[in-house]
Structure 1
Amino acid sequence: MERIPYLGHTIYRWQVGPSTFLALPEKGARLMHWNVTLGDGSVRDLIHWPELDQLDDIAKVRGGNPILFPFNGRTYDRSEIGFWRADDGVRRPMPMHGFARQGEFRVKRLDERGFSAVFVPGAEAKEGYPFDYEFVVSYRFEANAVYVELELTNLGQAPIPWSAGHHFYFNLPWSEGLTRKDYVLEVPAARTVRRNESGQLVDGPRLQPRETLDNPALIDTVHTALRGHQFQVTERTTGARLRFRTGFSNTTAKDAAVVTWAADDKVPYYCVEPWMGPPNAPETKIGLHHVGPGQTQKFLVDITHG
């Protein structure tokens, strides 16, 4: 592990076997980049990071893996976007994807295989999510895999709601000359949904078990009612793939979801996002988890390249 100066900050670089990882733990606990050196000496970029000239607003950077906490996507209160209502009946503000991706973190562990960082709530987070808790993001890097754990511990006396997730920006294509039609997504979902203008979940497009990533129906679609906890993206010409696996500790995986998204068909990335549940969980109650006093829950994701 080595320290590297980058745009006025110090980022960290890990070399684990053929894999190289870059991260900025203090800013959003952001994993920035992952590439793999192949047997022929070429380098395959897996997680996208754009060229930047400053890092003043890291939440808006479309790259790496923004952490979505305490809630995925947009929240609504009685059809009004940007708010949520807790069990105490109080309406509170909540930005899209919550506070963590733009938040400050304190490094708890930094070693040759990864890091753990603790969220330090600012004034906005304290107003919108006024609970006594510890939220920790932990990464473990392996030769051809990354493991990430989101852990929420309730330090107070009342249950704490959450429905967190990841916003991985994967580089696409992996190989020169290919396009999205050369990549196949396989998600064992029995249902797809989307969010309407009032925040409610409505039926999404009817999709096949295997879809190529050039299908526009995949964009902004939530894959749910999962029949398993593994899914994958495969490059058809080479058979190279990314295998995803999700898991939960001390809570149920019943409403877990996978979101597929890209800004348009020209961007050099494609997002495949494991979420604890669909968007607007505080209002719909679908995918909403509660951590009891003194308890800890975890959402675990690992991605393997092979």
Structure 2
Amino acid sequence: MKYTIENEKLLISVNLTGAELCQIQSVQTGKEFMWDANPDVWASYSPVLFPVIGAIKNGFVKYNEREYAVPRHGIVRNNPNVKLVRKTENSLTFGLQYDDVTLKIYPFKFEFQITYTLYDNRIIVSHEVTNHGDEPMLFSLGGHPAFKCPLSDDEVYEDYYLEFEQVETESTWLLEKDGLVGNHTKPILHNTNVLHLNGHLFDHDALIFKTLKSTQVSLRSTKSGQVITLHYADFPYLGIWAKPNANFVCIEPWLGIADNADSDQNLENKEGILNLESKAVFKALYSIEISE
């Protein structure tokens, strides 16, 4: 089941399973901006990442001397127990709350909500995490939206580039074969705000940036001039990824990161982990801006 809302500029749809944004369409032109989740390539549109991001070392984390097998990217992605909390003329809110099943793989009494709000030519993606437990709660969260690339039939992948808000000199942290973050880096941005796309850019998996100055990045075409801009000021980490030679690109804002290869697997020591006090609420948002 999916839910749809629209305004005078954009139509969006969200799958109930996983609360996954699955469509961004121009109302005026009918143009689609989201990847189509072709199962032969990558069968997702925009996974919601909570309470972990990416791979977990050996498939489990440790907390209070117990082991918890948290799935890769967490427990919201592909989850059929997500509920529609609220639908308004311009927003959709979905939620997932702890139960006996989640407590076996993630030891905290959480409530997670994600809201998609249409505002003019923007989709605002708002996250709200509540700690219903009596102890501090440890978690990460992030987005994984996949955008169609190229956007037009008369373009190719190499016509596109990413334009960062600021000039950057930044390296990517290299992933090991099991998806863990290694201790080696590779220079990617050299005093520039432009990263050109090509079919081999992701041959060694995602680009992972930890210290970008920019808080927004745009997917641009040298031919059509169309622009998709992701604003991510609340998210200190950024991932860029696609399957090699696939016709999409993911721009991923993260609060947290995959496990380090030398991780001790203790959740409290995990890089980028957030600490939420008992009964407290955490909020963070990013937005997707469509310019035609």
Q: CA deviation at 1:115?
A: 1.1
Q: Does 1:19 align with 2:23?
A: no
CA distance, structure 2, for counterparts of residue 116 and residue 202 of structure 1 = 39
Q: TM-score, normalised by structure 1?
A: 0.81
What corresponds to 2:182 in structure 1? 201
Distance 1:202 1:24, change over 3 A: same
The residue aligned with 1:158 is 135
* Unpaired stretches in structure 1, ≥5 consecutive residues: 1-8, 53-59
Pick from 188, 192, 199 the counterpart of residue 172 of structure 2: 192
Cα offset for 1:239? 2.3
Structure 1 residues 157 and 205: CA distance shift in structure 2, 3 A: same
Distance 1:197 1:49 in 2: 27
1:132 aligned to 109, 123, 135, which one?
A: 109
For residue 69 of structure 1, what is the amino acid of its counterpart?
A: F
1:289 aligns with 2:266: no
Question: 1:45 matched to which residue of 2?
Answer: 32
Q: 1:74: which partner in 2?
A: 55
Displacement of 1:167 in angstroms is: 1.3
Could you tell me how far apart the structure 1 residues matched to 2:158 and 2:82 are? Answer: 38
Residue 210 of structure 1 is aligned with which of 181, 190, 194?
Answer: 194
Give 1:83's aligned residue. Answer: 60
* Secondary structure of 1:44's aligned partner: coil
Distance in 1, Cα, partners of 2:182 & 2:112: 27
Q: Contact 2:53 / 2:257 at 8 angstroms: preserved in 1?
A: yes
Q: Structure 1 residues 147-156 or 179-188, which shifts more?
A: 179-188
Equivalent residue for 2:21?
Answer: 31
- Name the CA distance, whole Å, in 2 between partners of 1:212 and 1:284: 35
Which residue of the partner structure matches residue 78 of structure 2?
A: 102
Residue 200 of structure 1: how far off its partner (Å) = 4.2
TM-score (structure 2 length as normaliser): 0.85
Code of the aligned partner of 2:32: D
Which residue of 2 is the match for residue 244 of structure 1? 230
One-letter amino acid matched to 1:74? A
| Cα distance change, pair 258–91 in 1 and its aligned pair in 2 (3 A) | same
**What SS does the corresponding residue of 2:187 show, helix, strand or coil?**
coil
Query: Matches of 2:131 and 2:174 in 1, distance apart?
Result: 31
Alignment-derived partner of residue 251 in structure 2: 272
- Following superposition, the deviation at residue 206 of structure 1 comes to 1.1
- Residues 14 and 258 of structure 1: CA distance in aligned 2, closer, same or farther (over 3 Å): same
Residue 5 (structure 1) aligns with: none
Q: Of 218, 236, 239, which aligns to 1:259?
A: 239
Q: Distance in 1 between matches of 2:150 and 2:99?
A: 38
Q: Is 1:304–2:289 an aligned residue pair? A: yes
CA distance in 2, matches of 1:35, 1:154: 35
Asked if the contact 1:62/1:169 (under 8 Å) is kept, the reply is no
Amino acid at match of 1:131: F
Amino acid aligned to 1:211 = L
Report the Cα offset of residue 284 of structure 1.
5.8
Task: State the SS of the aligned residue for 2:102.
Answer: helix
